[in-house]
Structure 1
Amino acid sequence: MLAWLLGVVLFALGICASVALHEAGHMVAAKAFGMKVRRYFIGFGPKIWSFRRGETEYGLKAIPAGGFCDIAGMTALDEVTPEEAPRAMWRFPTWKRFVVMVAGSVTHFILGFIILYLLAATMGLPNVAGTPVISGTSCAASTQDPKTGDYAECGANDPSPARDAGLREGDEIVSIDGKATPTWTDVVSRVQKLRGEHEFVVMRDGAERRLTIDIPTVKRLAPDAKIGAEGNKLVDVGAIGVTSTPVYHYNAGSAFGGSVEFTGTMFVRVWEGLLAFPEKIPKVIQAIGGGERDPDTPVSVVGASIIGGDAVEAGVWELFLLLLATLNFFVGVFNLLPLLPLDGGHIAILFYEKIRDWVRRARGKPAGGPVDYTKLSAVTMVVIFIGGAVVLLTVTADIVNPIRIGQ
């Protein structure tokens, strides 16, 4: 229990640090361009402590649920003093305001990458796509223990089809008999149905190689078998004697390239998750009502912290770090959606003003004034309402029916 609480607290602190660095990204960029930053605070609500350095007040507030960076004149509607007016943010060129706005998300991306690099250089990066990369070859054990699932020890007569055909550690199985096998599950399901000689295409050192593997018949647990249960049945299947690569391992040098590639994968998965987000909300509501919680449903920071606690309690620190990196990528991408009051909404307005002024100049007209944010207040309130409702739903689900690991 103590380890679980430690994990929850550490994950919550990680989230707070991410938010603090997000706002720090805005602040550093604004100061670099000469904009006036009035305040930089971690948290909301009553002020606990603060100090002033130069023209900026730095401090901590009572509710650790975010933070803010108060830049003078973020929009033309913001009140500024005569002293602040020349350095109001809205007066600066579009590209500088864009850099300031995007700096928060970029900070999340950098932080997520650093976490992934540390993970890669120490514990390795998971094969989240299930790519069929071979980690080793051995015999195709003739049978399995029906109860434990343990494979029989290799005997002198047990064949080693993959090894005999020349399959090596690090090879990626691209296809079998001309049919693509993008995942390890595809490889297993194909091989189990085959017997005799079949053509495998593998990727090795950037080049494709064709291998002919003679697939023997072995005994394996039936698909409906349950480990530890009595009466499990064995069925005849094909096997070639290979093991998959669940984790890619790197050294300090190669970890950089591995982290870059994995970061690209994370961006794709985060974007796919955002697109699928609306259709997962009904499952969250069902979970609140007592239905089984789908592990693929959205979680709040409460739920993420609970999973982080479970990971620490189980000693799976790589999951803890991967979850923290994923959260940073998600927040960074989500914050760039073109919706107010997100940074992406402000960025969309910047581009709108720029494109509008290009069109006006092409028509011989003077540039238009700053966008009137009051005309967008209704849309902004709708976004805030929907966002608040989603947060309420996910927090409720994470309290009454959380996603757990190792339970």
Structure 2
Amino acid sequence: MSWLLAIAGFCVLIILHEFGHFAAAKAVGMRVERFMLFFPPILFKVKRGETEYGIGAIPAGGYVKITGMNPAEEIPPEHAHRAYYRQPVWKRVVVIAAGPVMNVLVAFAIIVGIFMIKGEVDGTSNRIGAIEKNYPAYGALGLGDHVVAVDGKKLAPDDISRQISSHRCAGKPVKGCAASTPVRFTVRSADGTVRTVSLRPIYDPTADPIQAGQPRGRTRLGFGLDPAYTTVGFGTAASDSVAGMWRVTTATVSAIARIFYSSQGRKEVSGVVGSTTVVSQSFQSDNITQALQLLALISLSLAIVNLFPFLPLDGGHIFWALAEKVRGRPIPFRIMEQASYVGFVLVLLLFAVGLTNDIDRLRGAGFGVR
């Protein structure tokens, strides 16, 4: 069921993206020949008016076919005036930009909805909300346990990690070494039972530092605390959503740039399999909020990647339409066709890197959500 929900989520994102193109094309008077979910071979199709609607067999995207998207296309005379390349530049830009804009609006609506219904994160609680395998907390602590004390001290949530990391390995720390002294952890279960367990945290060289400016690496027990939320109104939710989406946008652009010069950057890229798996795991763990946040992130990422100025991406069509406006006359199709090789190679690179990373994760520890 979780996989079906994840795939359904992706289908909705694709449908809405293509619907953006479709609705805009209809609105400005272009002729839409086909509105397709997924790629051929076609499994089902039906024609309504001048547009054919259908579902393809390859679940890797979707498309809207607008008459005249290829300048070399032979168009019946009665439809020539509604062809894409016969339209003013502003109409072409509106139609192409409508897809990514729809993805941005979807991401915005999801994030605003989460903020208004669940509230914004305002620190952390002392309730355990995630436990990692292969760490001391696994099997010793339980989801939903409330941290009462650490080493006999009642601590604020922000100080718990600091106290755990004060237990260090003997000598120079190496990955997986156990601390020389145990942490005494007192927790209260959901049924009210209070218990104390002694656990030796292990060193994780990739763990974020407790304080900014410190190097990575500290001892951990392998659990996370649930966030604490505060209710906000629409104005605050909308403002914070825009700010958060901007941070994601700059981070996504930076991550794509790192593909070309950083091996670590390439390892961070995830493909369709990885994205679907992570969303599926979120649904499976009944963390609907996290699943919706991931879908919002993916929707925003689709918009960002699609706006890169290379054909066949949407940004490529926008770039050449604006270039035509600046030049004052149409750009020869052979020039656009040759330039599109750059975009095609970029798309293949992103797909290949993402798929390779997905395969490596599936062979290894999987796509850990927590």
1:355 to 2:334 alignment:
no
Q: Is the 8 A contact 1:284 1:394 kept in 2?
A: no
Name the counterpart of 1:326. 297
The one-character-per-residue Cα deviations of 1:259-303 (angstroms, maximum 9, x if unpaired) are 4422332222222222232424754798xxxxxxx6xx1111210
- Give the gaps of 5 or more residues in structure 1: 1-5, 128-132, 137-146, 161-183, 193-218, 235-243, 287-293, 358-367
1:117 to 2:80 alignment:
no
Task: Name the stretch that deviates more: 76-85 or 255-264.
Answer: 255-264
SS of the residue corresponding to residue 83 of structure 1 reads helix
Offset at residue 59 of structure 1 (A): 1.1
Change (3 A) 1:221 1:376: closer
Offset at residue 21 of structure 1 (A): 1.2
Name the counterpart of 1:87. 82
Name the counterpart of 1:96. 91
1:346 to 2:317 alignment:
yes
Q: Is the 8 A contact 1:7 1:309 kept in 2?
A: yes
Name the counterpart of 1:232. 182
Offset at residue 374 of structure 1 (A): 1.6
1:38 to 2:1 alignment:
no
Change (3 A) 1:125 1:7: farther
In the aligned structure 2, how far is the partner of 1:395 from the partner of 1:134? Answer: 35
Change (3 A) 1:64 1:221: closer
Name the counterpart of 1:405. 368
1:58 to 2:60 alignment:
no
In the aligned structure 1, how far is the partner of 2:66 from the partner of 2:114? Answer: 35
Offset at residue 321 of structure 1 (A): 0.9
Change (3 A) 1:15 1:125: farther
TM-score by length of 2: 0.70
SS of the residue corresponding to residue 298 of structure 1 reads coil
Name the counterpart of 1:270. 249
Name the counterpart of 1:383. 343
Aligned-partner residue type, residue 44 of structure 2:
W
In the aligned structure 1, how far is the partner of 2:94 from the partner of 2:334? Answer: 24
In the aligned structure 2, how far is the partner of 1:331 from the partner of 1:70? Answer: 19
In the aligned structure 2, how far is the partner of 1:338 from the partner of 1:112? Answer: 22
In the aligned structure 2, how far is the partner of 1:374 from the partner of 1:126? Answer: 52
In the aligned structure 2, how far is the partner of 1:86 from the partner of 1:323? Answer: 42
SS of the residue corresponding to residue 401 of structure 1 reads helix
Name which of 9, 27, 49 aligns with 2:4.
9
In the aligned structure 1, how far is the partner of 2:68 from the partner of 2:355? Answer: 34
Name the counterpart of 1:371. 331
Taking only aligned residues, the RMSD between alpha carbons, in angstroms, comes to 3.5
Change (3 A) 1:9 1:400: farther
Name which of 219, 244, 249 aligns with 2:230.
249
SS of the residue corresponding to residue 78 of structure 2 reads coil
Change (3 A) 1:110 1:233: closer
In the aligned structure 2, how far is the partner of 1:318 from the partner of 1:72? Answer: 41
Aligned-partner residue type, residue 11 of structure 1:
A
Change (3 A) 1:378 1:354: closer
Change (3 A) 1:406 1:41: closer
Offset at residue 48 of structure 1 (A): 1.3
Q: Is the 8 A contact 1:285 1:393 kept in 2?
A: no
In the aligned structure 2, how far is the partner of 1:124 from the partner of 1:224? Answer: 37
The one-character-per-residue Cα deviations of 1:61-102 (angstroms, maximum 9, x if unpaired) are 111211111111125333211111011122222222111110
- Give the gaps of 5 or more residues in structure 2: 127-139, 142-146, 170-175, 185-224
In the aligned structure 2, how far is the partner of 1:405 from the partner of 1:233? Answer: 25
Aligned-partner residue type, residue 249 of structure 1:
T
Offset at residue 386 of structure 1 (A): 3.2
SS of the residue corresponding to residue 114 of structure 1 reads helix
Q: Is the 8 A contact 2:313 2:343 kept in 1?
A: no
Aligned residue pairs, count: 299
Q: Is the 8 A contact 2:167 2:183 kept in 1?
A: no
Q: Is the 8 A contact 1:77 1:372 kept in 2?
A: no
In the aligned structure 1, how far is the partner of 2:346 from the partner of 2:313? Answer: 13
Q: What is the aligned-residue identity percentage?
A: 29
Aligned-partner residue type, residue 70 of structure 1:
K
Aligned-partner residue type, residue 266 of structure 1:
M
Name which of 269, 279, 290 aligns with 1:308.
279
Name the counterpart of 1:179. none
Offset at residue 153 of structure 1 (A): 6.5
In the aligned structure 2, how far is the partner of 1:54 from the partner of 1:125? Answer: 46
Offset at residue 329 of structure 1 (A): 0.5
